[in-house]
Structure 1
Amino acid sequence: MKYSNEDEINKLENEINELEDKTLKAYIKGKKVAKLKQRSKVTLTELEKGIGNTTNLDNNGPRKCVGCGAELHNKDEKKPGYVKDVLGQDYCLRCFKIKNYNRLVEQEINDKDFIDILDNINKTTEKIRYYYVIDIFDLPGSRLDWLERLISKKEVVVLINKADLLPKSVNKARIIKYVKRFFEESPISESKFILTSSIKKDYVYSLVNELRSVECDQYIIGISNAGKSSLINACLVANQQIPSIVTSKYTNTTLNKIKINFTKKNYIYDTPGLVKHNHIAIATSPSYWDFFFFKKEIKQVTFQLLSRQTIFYGGIAWFTFEEGEIFDKNKNKLIKTSFHFYVNKQMPLHRTKVANAHTYFKKNRHNLSPRLKEHDNEFISHSFSFDKEELVDLHISGLGWINFKTYKGLKVSVNVPKTEFDVKVKILPAMI
C-alpha cells in the first residue's frame, strides 16, 4: 500500500475544506429568506421558532438575558441581569448599555462563578466537544494550563482567532504549525487546530461547517476578549440568524451559558470568558481598552536602535535595548540593531534615550494615551540576555510582540506596570 506524505495529506484536507466552504456559500446564497433584524432594542424574534438564540425557548425556570446569559430580575441595579420588565425584555441593563451605547454599567461579578460553570460542564458523562478560542495576538496570555488539563478529558478543537489581522504575506499553514508547536507540552496537543476570524467570510463559513457537523453538546470557551462571542455572532449571520450575543471591549461581557441553535437539532453554548489577569489593560481604565484589543490588521513598526535607547508604548510601558552593540571594523562604526514592533495601529510609539526615560515618563504621563489608571503605579522590569543567534518574538500581553534577531551579548529589557497578577512577558520563537 502506498502511503501519502504530510504535504499530500494537507493538500487533500485543504481541498475538502474548500469544497465544504463552497457548499455552504451556495446554500446560503441560494436560500431565499427575509432579512432578519431585531424587533426592538430590548427584544429579538427569529423568523422560525427553535433556531438562533434559544436561551429562553422552553420557558423552564427563570428567564435569562440573551446577551450575557445572566438571570433576569428587577431587584438590584448593581447585580448582573437587572431589567425593569422581566417578561418584556430580552436584554439586561448592562447588555443594553454596552450594545447600544458602548457604556459599561459597573456591577458585581464573581470570577468563581465562571470556574464553577466550566467545572459542572466537564462533569457530564455524555459526549461533548470544546472549542478552545485563543488570541493569535496574545498567545501566552490567552492560555490557561489548568483549563487545558480540565478540558483534555473531552474532545477539543483549538480555534486560532483573529488570523485575518496578521499581515497578508504570512503563510496560514505556517501559523497553524507554529501554534501546534506552542502547544507541544499541553495535554490537548493532539487536538484539531483551525484558523478563525469573525470578520473574513471564508473563515466564518469553515467554522459554521464545523459547528453544523456535530450533534453533541458543543461549548465555546476561552479567555475574556479572545473573541468567542464575536465568532458566534458571525456564524449566526452566515446562517441567516440574528447576531444576538453582546460583544464589547470590556472583560466578562458573557456571564453565563447562552444556548444557540443553528438548526433545531444542532446547538452550541457560548460560555463566560475567564478574566485576563495578566493582561496590561488591567492597569488602565476601560476608556483606553481599544488600544489593547486588535480589530484591524496589525501594524509593523521597525526601529534601528543603538544600545541605551528606549521605545515607549504610549504612557504605560517601555522597551530598552540595554547592551550588545556590534562594531563593524571595516566601516569603523557601530551597527544598529533592528527591532520590529507588531502593535495595534492605534498604539503610539516614541523613541528616547534610556537616560531620559524616567524624566520623559514623569513629565508626559498625564498627557499620553493610553495611560495608567493609578498615578503612583510601580513598575516591574523584565531583562533578557542571549548567547546565540536566533529569531525570537518578545510577547507583552496586550501590546503584541517585538521581533528581532538575537546574538551573543545582546541584552534587552521591558518595563511594565505592576498589577495584582503581573503582566505576562515571554520570549517565544519567531512567528513571522
Structure 2
Amino acid sequence: MLKRCSGCGVILQTEDDTKAGFVKDLSHELCLDCFNLKNYSKVNSVTIHPGEMPVIKEEALILYVLSINHLSLRLKYRLDRHFPNSPVILVLNHIDTLDSSVNLNKMIQKIRQEANKLQMKFVDIVPISALQNKYIDVLMESMEYHQKNRNVYLVGFQNSGKSLLFKRIANRLAIETTVLSGKKPGLTLADFSIPFHGAKLTDTPGIYLPGSIASFLPFDAYKDLLIESRVKPKIYQLNEQQSLFFGGLCAVSYLEGGFKGIACYASNALEIHRTKYDETYEKFKSQQDTFKHQIKDQKFVKKLFKLNPDIAYELAISDFAMVHLKGKAVIEVYLPDTMRVVLEEALY
C-alpha cells in the first residue's frame, strides 16, 4: 500500500532524492522537503509542483480563496462552469497587505458587479487574513449558513493561503491537522480533510499559475519579493518616454499619456529605478547585474498596452509587482516572454 507524506500528501518514495516524496526510510511520516520545512524552515528551492483546477463532481460548497496579490486574475476561471451545481464563497485573503486607505466594501461591490455581468454568482464575499488570524470566525459563520449538509472544498491558486486558512479553521474546531503551510507555492500535493458540521472540509492542491516568479528564480532568490505585509505604494510622477526598472526582472515604460502619477505596489526588497526610455533596453541589460534580483539567460520581449480614458487600471507583473494608473496612456512592458503580465480594471 502506498504511503503519503503527512505534511504535503505526496506519495513517499526512497528511489530518487531529487524527486518529490523522497525519504531515506518509509517508516518516516514526512518527506524530506516537509521535514526540512517543519524543523528548519528550509524549503526545496527549485522544484515547482504543477496543479490544476480540482475536479469536484458532487454538489458541494466551494470556498474560492483568492489572494489580494492575485486580484488581477479574479476572472480567470468561470467557476460556474467548473462547479455548476455548487455555491461559491469568494474568500479574499491577505487583506493585511492592503494600504489602510483601501475601502473593502467598494472593492467587494466592484467584484459583485463584474461577476453579475458574467452571470457568475458568489453567495458571499468574505475578506480575511489567514496570516493574522482575522475574520476567520466571520467566514465560518458564512460557511455554516451556506453549507446545508454539503461537503466544503477549499480551492485557489498556489500561494493563496488555503492551507494556512485550513489550519486556522481546524484550530477553531479543536481538530489537529498535519498539513504544512509556507511561503513557497505548491506545498500541498494531495487532499486533506477534517470533519465540519456533519460533513467534511477539504483542502485541495493549489492551482499552478504559469509565469510566476518561481518559474524563473529559485525560492531563496525570490522569497523576499513575496508580499506578506502591508505595502505602501511608491508614487512616481512620470513624463512620457520614461521607464521604471523593477530590479533586473523587468521594465515598465510610459510612452504616451502626458504627465501622470503612477503607483507601484511591491516588496520593499525590490529596487525600482526611474530612467529615460530606451527602445532597445540596452541600459536595462547593462544594469541587470547591479540589482539584487535579476533574471538572466531568458528571452525578453516587449508587450504593449493601450489604456482607455477615465478608467483606473492595475498592471500585475507576475506575482511580485502591481502598477496602478489611470488612462489614457500607452504602456510598454519589457520582460521574459513567458512571464505573466495582466491588465485589468483596478479594484482599489
TM-score band by shorter chain is: 0.7 to 0.9
**SS of residue in 2 equivalent to 1:380:** strand
Q: Cα deviations across residues 51-87 of structure 1 (Å, max 9, x unaligned)?
A: xxxxxxxxxx644322111233444434433334444
Work out the CA distance in 1 between the residues paired with 2:305 and 2:32.
Answer: 47
Take 1:388 and 1:144, find their aligned partners in 2: how far apart are those partners? 24
1:404 correspondence with 2:344: no
2:162 is aligned with 1:228? yes
- Give the distance between the partners of 2:46 and 2:236, measured in 1 at CA: 40
1:342 is displaced (CA, Å) by 1.8
CA–CA distance in 2 between the matches of 1:85 and 1:105? 23
**2:54 counterpart residue number:** 118
The alignment covers a number of residue pairs equal to 345
Which string of whole-angstrom CA distances, capped at 9 and with x for unpartnered residues, describes residues 392-420 of structure 1? Answer: 2222231332222223xx3222222112x
Matches within 5 A, 1:51-200: 62-87=2-27, 89-101=28-40, 102-104=42-44, 109=49, 111=50, 114-115=51-52, 118-119=54-55, 121-122=56-57, 124=58, 127-141=59-73, 144-145=76-77, 149-186=81-118, 188-200=120-132
C-alpha deviations, 1:22-68, integer Å up to 9, x for none? xxxxxxxxxxxxxxxxxxxxxxxxxxxxxxxxxxxxxxx64432211
1:279 paired to 2:195? no
Over the residues paired in the alignment, what is the CA RMSD in angstroms?
2.8
Q: Which residue of 1 aligns with 2:248?
A: 315
Contact 1:165 1:298 in 2 (8 A): yes
C-alpha distance in 1 between matches for 2:188 and 2:135? 23
Q: Structure 1 residues 170, 105: CA separation in 2 closer, same or farther (over 3 Å shift)?
A: closer
Q: How far 1:236 moved relative to its partner?
A: 3.0
The answer for the alignment partner of 1:431 in structure 2 is 347
Contact 1:312–1:350 (8 Å) recurs in 2: yes
String of CA shifts for 1:369-395, please: whole Å, max 9, x gaps: 2211xx332222222234533322222
Q: In structure 1, list runs of 5 or more residues that go unmatched.
A: 1-60, 326-335
Secondary structure of 1:131 counterpart: strand
- Write out per-residue CA displacement over residues 187-210 of structure 1, whole angstroms, 9 at most, x where no aligned residue: 643432211211333312222334
Aligned partner letter, 2:293? P
321, 329, 336: which one pairs with 1:417?
A: 336
TM-score, normalisation: structure 2: 0.87
Q: For residues 348 and 204 of structure 1, what CA distance do their matches in structure 2 show? A: 34
Q: CA deviation at 1:281?
A: 3.8
Identity rate, percent: 24
Q: Name which of 267, 288, 292 aligns with 1:365.
A: 288
The Cα shift of 1:256 comes to 0.7
Q: Which moved more, 1:315-324 or 1:150-159?
A: 150-159
CA distance in 2, matches of 1:279, 1:400: 11
> In 1, are the aligned partners of 2:303 and 2:332 still within 8 Å (CA)?
yes
CA contact (8 A) 2:124 2:142 kept: no
Q: What residue identity is the alignment partner of 1:66?
A: S
Q: Give CA-to-partner distance per residue, 1:200-228, whole Å, 9 cap, x none.
A: 33312222334455442211111111111
**TM-score, length-scaled by structure 1:** 0.71
CA contact (8 A) 2:246 2:270 kept: yes
Query: More displaced, 236-245 or 281-290?
Result: 236-245
Partner Cα separation in structure 1 for residue 240 and residue 303 of structure 2: 17
Distance 2:227 2:84 in 1: 29
Question: CA contact under 8 A between 2:72 and 2:314: conserved in structure 1?
Answer: no
Aligned counterparts of 1:97 and 1:68: Cα–Cα separation in 2: 12
Q: Which has the larger radius of gyration?
A: 1
Structure 2: 5+ residue stretches without partners: none
Are residues 204 and 346 of structure 1, via their aligned partners in 2, closer, same or farther at CA, if it must alter by over 3 Å? farther
Residue of structure 1 equivalent to 2:193: 259
SS of the residue 2:262 aligns to: strand
CA shift in 2, pair 1:84/1:148, >3 Å: farther
Q: 2:309 aligns with which of 373, 388, 397?
A: 388
Equivalents in 2 of 1:187, 1:293: separation in Å? Answer: 33
**Cα pair 2:313 2:343 within 8 Å, conserved:** no
